[in-house]
Structure 1
Amino acid sequence: MKDHDKADKRFLNTLARGLSVLRAFRASDDGLSHMELAARTGLPKSTLSRLAFTLCETGYLSHSYRNDRYRLGPAALALGNIATASISFVDTASGIMQALADKTGTLVVLAVRDDRKLMLAKTWRPVGKASIWLEPGHRIPVYGSSSGQAIVATLDDDRFEATDPDERLRAFRQQGYAQLIARGFTVASAEVRFATTINAVSVPFYAQEYGEPVAFSCGALPEILTDARMQQEVGPALSAAVRELERMVSRGPALVRRG
């Protein structure tokens, strides 16, 4: 997490640390121990203990003393349901993206910016087919991912500069922008992909609820989703699916030509 102490006095580090505890949980977790939470958040154990106690007292965590594991509490559940209901495009996208997952045999994901990384907010698995195992809450890097490339390529200049980019990320952004102009989707080049076991292709979507782009991506093992298949079949199919979503919610494309 970026150190905001000196950059902006409005930033509350205690609140940010508390939120990092909530963000540590994944859909497949059967609770997390104090040690597991410390490992995932990077927080000192004493700080984590105080935060966990406060989150339990306010209903955002629950704690089973029998097995000493924390789980998200009823307040977190209510907040998640409110957030889901307020983001209308996700429900609209579900039918389109599930059909795409079934057609292409890939895992379709929705990725959003989360601090310095991306978080998978929603996944759609192909019915009756094996797929890579990524789940909501999983985080991936911006640099080296097709989702990250699609998002940074369509961020406005002010938001992009606020990420404190290095020259490597600037070049990555420019490559993504050129790909979106040329063919409507991004594929991170083989030499910078963050994972050699997953291939993915991505298309940005402007989410008015967030005020910035998110990314829809199709991913699979390289032997299933080859570079040729990404370029010739799955990329165009994903682009068409996102365009259909834009028509259904009456929004224009995320890509805006920069000056």
Structure 2
Amino acid sequence: MNAAPQDRRFANTLARGLSILRAFRASDDGLTHSELAARTGLPNSTVSRLTYTLSTLGFLSHAGRKDRYRLGPAAFGLGNVAAASVSFVEVGRGILQQLADDTGTLVSLAVRDGDRVMLAKTWRPVGTASIWLEPGHRIPVFGSSSGRAIIAALDEAVFRASNPEDRLVAFRAGGYDDLIAQGFTIAPAETRFSTSVNAVAVPFHADEFGEPVAFSCGALPQMLSEERMRETVGPALQKTVRALEQMTGRSPALARRG
């Protein structure tokens, strides 16, 4: 869990409870107390109190003493409300799936989540059995193409308020140059957080969040080479994001940067 802000207005108990809900991933078949403790960094005793409260409120379900915890009906209801409020996802569903099919890559929507970015939605190419990355998966801002696209389009004051390290400032500047020159960005090979995934990303300004998100195309390096990212997939992704902006009446993300 990210370090709590040093502000008296910050409710630590609420933050810990929400970290329990955020620990779940789409592929999980429930989580035990020890697994929740490991993912959140919270003591078992704290996890026990939080899971009891969340279960009582319907945000977690737990059938018995030895059963695993799963997201409950209240969490699903909240998720459905949140999904319905993000209109551009539904508007772009068809063209984003087509992009995944045409490029044979995993198309994903990433949102900023502290010092990481979270995959909020994915579109897999039809006929591909591989699980790849899934909604709820979190990756670092530094070293990811999605993170680079988001911070490159992020308002200057908002970015500086996070007290970024020099390497992140340089990472952002390179992303901005990429977006100006070619309309998409790729994390430099020497900075990538993983050698098992290649990805290219383009920012999109989400009015619902008041800041940019990123759409990306990613795959294993043997399926998505550096040349293919730059010559084929990157331009196709940029074209799709531009089409989505036109469909939703939104201006390019860089036009919003302060």
- TM-score range, shorter-chain basis? over 0.9
> In the alignment, which residue of structure 1 is the partner of 2:249?
250
Structure 2 residue 146 is matched with structure 1 residue 147: yes
> In the alignment, which residue of structure 2 is the partner of 1:42?
41
Whether the 8 Å contact between 1:131 and 1:220 is mirrored in structure 2 is no
> In the alignment, which residue of structure 1 is the partner of 2:91?
92
> In the alignment, which residue of structure 2 is the partner of 1:172?
171
Whether the 8 Å contact between 1:60 and 1:73 is mirrored in structure 2 is yes
Deviation by residue 1:183-240 (Cα, 9 ceiling, x = unmatched): 0000001100110010000000000000000000000011110000000000000000
Range with greater deviation from structure 2 (220-229 or 63-72): 63-72
Deviation by residue 1:155-177 (Cα, 9 ceiling, x = unmatched): 00121112221000000000000
Q: Using the TM superposition, give the Cα deviation of residue 131 of structure 1 relative to its aligned residue in structure 2, in angstroms.
A: 4.8
> In the alignment, which residue of structure 2 is the partner of 1:11?
10
4+ long deviations beyond 4 Å: none
Secondary structure at the counterpart of residue 182 of structure 1? helix
Q: Using the TM superposition, give the Cα deviation of residue 68 of structure 1 relative to its aligned residue in structure 2, in angstroms.
A: 2.4
Amino acid at match of 1:225: L
Q: Percent identity?
A: 67
Structure 2 residue 62 is matched with structure 1 residue 63: yes
Q: Using the TM superposition, give the Cα deviation of residue 114 of structure 1 relative to its aligned residue in structure 2, in angstroms.
A: 1.3
CA distance in 2, matches of 1:218, 1:166: 27
Distance 1:258 1:245, change over 3 A: closer
Whether the 8 Å contact between 1:105 and 1:131 is mirrored in structure 2 is no
Whether the 8 Å contact between 2:60 and 2:70 is mirrored in structure 1 is yes
RMSD: 1.3
Whether the 8 Å contact between 2:155 and 2:256 is mirrored in structure 1 is no
The answer for unaligned runs of 5 or more in structure 1 is: none
Structure 2 counterparts to residues 1-259 of structure 1, below 5 A: 1-4=2-5, 6=6, 8-65=7-64, 67-131=66-130, 133-256=132-255
The answer for unaligned runs of 5 or more in structure 2 is: none
CA distance in 1, matches of 2:72, 2:151: 34
Distance 1:132 1:203, change over 3 A: farther
CA distance in 2, matches of 1:13, 1:161: 24
Q: Using the TM superposition, give the Cα deviation of residue 257 of structure 1 relative to its aligned residue in structure 2, in angstroms.
A: 7.8
Amino acid at match of 1:55: L
* TM-score normalised to structure 2 length: 0.97
Secondary structure at the counterpart of residue 255 of structure 1? helix
CA distance in 1, matches of 2:86, 2:12: 27
* TM-score normalised to structure 1 length: 0.96
